Structure 1
Amino acid sequence: MSSPIERSYNEAKELYAKHGIDVDQALRKLEKVKISIHCWQGDDVRGFLNREQELTGGISVTGNYPGAARTPDELRADLEKALSLIPGKHKVNLHAIYADTDERVELDALEPRHYAKWVEWAKEQGLGLDFNPTCFSHEKSADGFTLSHPDPAIRQFWIGHCKASRKIGAYFGEQLGQTCVTNVWIPDGFKDTPFDRLAPRKRLKEALDEVFAEELNPAHNLDAVESKLFGLGAEAYTVGSHEFYMGYGLQHNKLICLDAGHFHPTEVISNKLSALSLFAEGILLHVSRPVRWDSDHVVTLDDELLDIGRELVRGDLLAKTHIGLDFFDASINRVAAWVIGTRNTIKALLRAMLEPSAALRQAELEGDYTTRLALSEEMKTYPFGAVWDYYCERQGVPVREGWLGEVKVYEQEVLLKRGG
């Protein structure tokens, strides 16, 4: 006898089938999508190298909810709990400061061996790993400049760190059989209006040329570059602007990263995807939720997230787009934050896969905008939730808010027993 969830699913399938939508096929497609889950939500971007260093680079984490991970083992345990509540097989995104080593090692001297325990864990869990050089929270970035620094010695330090990071990314890809995306973001900029906007960008371009000089196997590592409009302490001018990195990425065949919080508050990245896809080698998304500024709130199923999902599915862009999360909230349970944000991102993709694409595209081509609007609106109340519930049940994760109880138990048994 079928369960209530399965019965609801079959009824939903019939409704969607009337519009030519194969729900089973949509779920098979969804299973193949990997979300890169950012490790830094679990410990408020502190990492395990230089933990005493103040968080800098225009980044701010607010809140003091108990239970932040203090060690690599604790962070991996928290990630395992979150992943057990999220349907599908995914990836974990590491920053360089999350090295698992007893050595006192500088950023430009990091090697793959410093992440061997992460690779071993990822193999056990069947996960891929992505990577990022950490160009902030360091004495050599204290004045707000790294790869564009006017001091050649400091600039060379950060070049060395980014080179080392690419080799670590290639190691991840080779060991795990899943391509690692190594993403370069720097906080460089001025608090007030600079006299010379060009010189720092020239230095950044030359530094990136040196960072990327060594050819790496693209099956193991793909490079990405990430822009930002402004940061705390760099409100007037950011060296790595969107125009800079879009130009650099297109010229040098790098993935171009679009972060949902790195643009003007009235801009959205969903509207950029179709245009960029025509020219870019590939796209990296950092899915976040800005509130008034790049505040990196936990991703909710809001209009912009739904639009991002629609653009990726309607334009058949999933194959060339790498989807990662980038938020950090210390005011709520950190494991719950991962679960909420990741499940919402997957939901947005599923919603998009359950659209009557052929009918809507045909209506638009024929100029029948009445049908386009009417059908689009009616589909919003179709039983998407029944399909999502079935997908979760089939994937062996809790249905609806059932996951919250597991997180609450984990909080009592594990998180609240950690010290400060």
Structure 2
Amino acid sequence: MVAQIEKKSDRSGRERLVEQRPLYKATQEQLDALLKRHEMFRNARMGGARAILANYDLTGLNLAGRDLAHADLTGCILRRANLAGANLDCCTLFAADLREANLTGASLVKVDLRGASLRGADLTGANLVSADLRDGSLAERAADGSLKMVVVESDTSPADMQGAKLANANLSQAKLSGVVAQHTDFTDALMRGTKLVRANLRNATLDGAILEGADMSGADVRGASMKGAVLTGAVLMMTEMAGADMAGALTDKPAGKPASALPRPLEQMLKLHAEWVGTAGQGGLALDLSGYDLRHETCLSHACLTRLHAPGVILYGVDLSAAHIQVGNLRGADLRGANLSGCDLRGINLADAQLGNANLSEANLGYLKIDATRLVCSDLSGAKLRYANLSGARLVKADFRGADLSFANLLLADLKEADLTGARLSGTRVKREQMAEVTGFKVLG
């Protein structure tokens, strides 16, 4: 097939030579052979060869779970292709067409996606750390020294992410400056240090997104939903935010009473509370942290916080590892990204709390036995535990009614007699045998 060359005007009105480059249609069998040789190349085996698939048409083909790291897919057509779980690290996807492609759980670390179209693609849970998604156009130097633009036989738009799904994707340090991401789903996405300069995020969903240190200078987020998003340290110079829903969002401003408003230094209050617990209330003072914003505190690991009263407290990202918080009241608390590994949380009240991405591995959320007839069970009803790590946790008789456990890790957790009535379990990592004695969940077959 012969390439066609014609003159076209760019956005500034200047005329440039544009080459309509032909595509090479590959069958699944041909693709499998190329991928096999690439995997041999990646494993330094004799007969291997790097996959050079520039300008190939791979529409609808299956590349799920395959190793394509460092492959060249420049200008490749991958519409509706299945790339779920694929390794695309350091891959060149410059000006590629990935519309409606399945990239769920794929690894795209340092991938070159400049000028690529991801319209309608599903990148749920994908790893895009340090990926480059800025504008880009293919160009080659003609014989007379002038530049000619190169396009493939598709109608892709540069840096187009409209309608894409990037829920819980890791976009830390990624370059999205100038990207078009209207109506795009970034729910719970990790976007620390992401470059979003002049990005078009109108009407996008950024609920719960972690945008710490992100550069959103000149970005357009009008009409976007940013409920519960974290914007601490974000650069918002000239950012258009009219009509954006910022309910529950965390910024550099305190979201509750600041630590400076405490009646005593927190370290001193912790000592008094430990004395109160140790003397059954005869000495010391009970600790009340209701509504305080303590996300910068560093003295809570291994602390004695039994019977802590702290509904609505902000403990985002705080290290509470190995703390004792038995029968504590943290209803509606913000514990997203907090480290609660190894904590004794028996009988705790975490109803309606935010625990997305929190580490609760090996934590004890079972019941607390008061006497022969009385038990206090942990209450996590209505809690948001999306992507939380509950591996190896003790959850006996815990109340998870109406909780959101989507994509949470429950492997090796003890769920005996836990109540999961009405709980959301989409993508939850759990073994069938763990659910045998769970209330509100029917094990089929």
TM bucket (normalised to shorter chain) is under 0.3
The structure that has the greater radius of gyration is 2
Higher helix share: 1
Please give the TM-score of this superposition, normalised by the length of structure 2. 0.25
Please give the TM-score of this superposition, normalised by the length of structure 1. 0.26
